[in-house]
Amino acid sequence: MAGAGWKVWRKLRIIKSVTFQSSRFYSSDWNIRHGLVGMVGRTPLVRLNKVSDETGCEILAKAEFANGGGSVKDRAAYFLIREAQKSGELKPGGTVVEGTAGNTGIGLAHLCLAMGYKCVIYMPNTQSHEKIELLQTLGADVRPVPAVAWSDPNNYNHQAKRFAESLDNAVWTNQFDNTANRLAHIETTGPEIWQQTDGKVSAVTFGTGTGGTLAGVGTYLKEKNKDIQVVLADPQGSVLYNWFKHGKLERSEGNSITEGIGQGRVTSNLEGAPIDDAMCITDKEAVEYTFRLLHEEGFFVGASSGLNVAAAVRVAKSMGPGHTIVTALCDTGQRYYAKLFSRKFLDDKGVLQYIPEPYRISLHD
């Protein structure tokens, strides 16, 4: 009996070891990431099955919520710090100061903890308590200031700049106009997309906040193949659609519920970006796709991801079957739970009706 048991055990071991070695999870690509910094970039590229099957295109998304700090902005945050280290502006134990209401601040706060810096975040005082509390939990010194326009010297970005200048060993990272942000995507996101698709990418489309993602990925991919189409996806109420189509910094109609994207000016990161086309994506499309991603594909993401996928579907339909379109799932829906998953909020914004009835099960009051 003992002999038979041993044989069964050995057989199971062999099966287990073959399964283990051939498992995709433990493939040769699988390696050790060095700390949180090692978790910036190299995100999975995911085939969105439902929309790919519907359009006859491969619609692929970089799973940016898988970055260590949970969003696409971790890439920019790391490069902004890295450039400040390289230039000598930031020395060990120094302070990183930024004006941000969202993901860049969260990325910077995570990285400051991992890299031994202090983090100070200026933000408009209109921001939710959840964001302030999250940043404080991440060790940041959060300074809510009155929400005034860019042209006002008391705008949160200008205050961040002045505060950094008043300290020794501190840097204002300036995500909008510091092109280290775009460089992050030239050096990481673009090459990853090229490698992960084996160069078979027909178009990319991204919503733009600072413009770093679109400009950086576009710049890298155009160098590889100038025929790759770079499409700017602009939320309603932003100026970039009219800027690209008509050369005017005029807002499109409405005020978007998406966060982190949309612009009122052309930032240094966006300047000179190789853009082939632009489209304005309404909130009703962004919200519809945010909930479709959740219920049809299983991805719990924010509205900028819904907008990105809505844009990718439009690009796929205009190019026709057989193309490969790449976009991004920027962050998780958890960051927007209070608003984006509130029945009342969506109803007040007039977009509740665009969420298919069975998917409204995900809403709270």
Ligand X SMILES: Cc1ncc(COP(=O)(O)O)c(C=O)c1O
Residues marked as catalytic: 73
Please identify, using beta-carbon distances, which residue of 73 and 349 lies nearer to ligand X: 73
Touching ligand X, residues 260-279 (CB under 6 A): 260-261
Q: Least separation, in Å, of the C-beta of 155 and ligand X?
A: 17
Among 304, 324, 327, 332, binds ligand X (CB under 6 A): 304
Q: Least separation, in Å, of the C-beta of 355 and ligand X?
A: 19
3-state secondary structure at position 345: helix
Q: What share of the chain is helix, strand, coil (3-state, %, to 5)?
A: 50, 15, 35
Q: Least separation, in Å, of the C-beta of 204 and ligand X?
A: 12
Please identify, using beta-carbon distances, which residue of 201 and 261 lies nearer to ligand X: 261
Residues in the chain, how many? 365
Token digits of residue 10: 């050995």
3-state secondary structure at position 272: coil
Contact stretch for ligand X (CB under 6 A) within 99-107, 162-170, 190-198, 227-235 = 99-107
Among 207, 218, 262, 306, binds ligand X (CB under 6 A): 207
Please identify, using beta-carbon distances, which residue of 212 and 218 lies nearer to ligand X: 212
Contact 121, 173 (CB under 8 A): no
Please identify, using beta-carbon distances, which residue of 59 and 101 lies nearer to ligand X: 101
Could you tell me the CA-to-CA distances from 77 to 111, 137, 329, 348 in Å, in that order?
A: 8, 18, 17, 34
Please identify, using beta-carbon distances, which residue of 94 and 329 lies nearer to ligand X: 329
218 interacts with ligand X by CB under 6 A: no
Q: Least separation, in Å, of the C-beta of 172 and ligand X?
A: 17
Sketch the per residue contact string, 71 through 90, with ligand X: x for CB under 6 A, - otherwise.
-xx-----------------
Residue 47 neighbours by CB distance under 10 Å? 13
- For 21-78, the DSSP string reads HH-STTSTT-----TTGGGSS---EEE-HHHHHHHTSEEEEEEGGGSTTSSTHHHHHH
190 interacts with ligand X by CB under 6 A: no
Distance CA 14, CA 20 (A): 10
> Can you say how many angstroms the Cα of residue 73 is from the centroid of all Cα atoms in its chain?
6
Token digits of residue 302: 């924010």
Nearest position to ligand X, beta carbon: 260
330 interacts with ligand X by CB under 6 A: yes
| Cβ neighbours for 6, distance < 8 A, ≥ 6 positions apart | none
100 closest CA partner among 67, 116, 76: 76
Sketch the per residue contact string, 283 through 302, with ligand X: x for CB under 6 A, - otherwise.
-------------------x
Please identify, using beta-carbon distances, which residue of 69 and 102 lies nearer to ligand X: 102
Touching ligand X, residues 242-261 (CB under 6 A): 260-261
Q: Given the rule CB under 6 A, which residues bind ligand X?
A: 72-73, 102-104, 207-213, 260-261, 302, 304, 330-331
